[in-house]
């Protein structure tokens, strides 16, 4: 299946919603520290409801540890500054869909990392800055999964 990578997420409900997304789609959720919250945070638990035991979540101390666990794989970095659309990608099993922190998105040094296969974006109206992190991850995962006819294990 596919993998989501949240680089230094800051807002507990977004990660809680991604935990629910993981449980309902079978994707793995990988988080790179530092996190802007503790796993005991009530907002995180509330957003994830009772899905925590059904989700595949792994926390990495830094990006190097995440790369070691996830590669080799295609890594698609989501950024509002990309030229390619997320729908231009032919997603494959094992692909990593990477998202940055809510306040700033992925930093330039991460976007330039050699591990990044491509930078992609979701279309938005002119003048819009960004979409919600959990919503963006959901849209992207469902597009990747749709391309595989919603088969489990794809």
Q: Are 119 and 79 in contact (CB under 8 A)?
A: yes
Residue 14 domain-assigned? yes
Is 103 known as a binding-site position? no
CATH code for the domain of 34: 3.40.1280.10
When comparing pLDDT for 39 and 136, which is higher? 136
Q: Indicate the number of domains in the chain.
A: 1
Mean pLDDT of 62-70: 98
Q: What is the rounded distance in angstroms from the CA atom of residue 30 to the CA atom of residue 1?
A: 13
Whether residue 105 is annotated as binding a ligand: the answer is no
Phi-psi region of 55 (alpha: psi -120 to 50; beta: other; left: phi over 0): beta
Residue 152, domain member (yes or no)? no
Q: What is the pTM of this model?
A: 0.92
In a domain, 113, yes or no: yes
Task: For 102, list phi and psi in degrees, rounded to 5.
Answer: -60, -35
Q: How confident is the model over 116-120, as a mean pLDDT?
A: 98
Residue 121 lies in a domain: yes
pLDDT greater than 80 at residue 54: no
Q: Is residue 38 part of a domain?
A: yes
Angle at 36 between CA 35 and CA 37, to 5 degrees: 90
pLDDT digits (tens, 9 = 90+) for 26-42: 999 999 999 988 877 56
The residue segments making up the domain with residue 113 are: 3-147
94 has binding-site annotation? no
């Amino acid at each position: 299946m596919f993998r989501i990578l949240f680089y230094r997420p800051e807002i507990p409900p977004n990660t809680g919603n991604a935990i629910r997304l993981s449980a309902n789609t079978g994707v793995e959720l990988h988080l790179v520290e530092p996190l802007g919250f503790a796993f005991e945070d009530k907002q995180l638990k509330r957003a994830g409801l009772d899905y925590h035991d059904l989700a595949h979540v792994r926390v990495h101390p830094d990006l190097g540890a995440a790369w070691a666990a996830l590669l080799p794989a295609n890594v698609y970095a989501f950024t509002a500054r990309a030229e390619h659309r997320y729908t231009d990608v032919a997603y494959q099993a094992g692909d990593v869909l990477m998202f940055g922190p809510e306040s700033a998105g992925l930093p330039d040094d991460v976007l330039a990392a050699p591990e990044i296969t491509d930078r992609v974006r979701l279309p938005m109206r002119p003048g819009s800055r960004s979409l919600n992190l959990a919503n963006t991850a959901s849209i992207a995962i469902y597009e990747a999964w749709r391309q595989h006819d919603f088969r489990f294990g794809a």
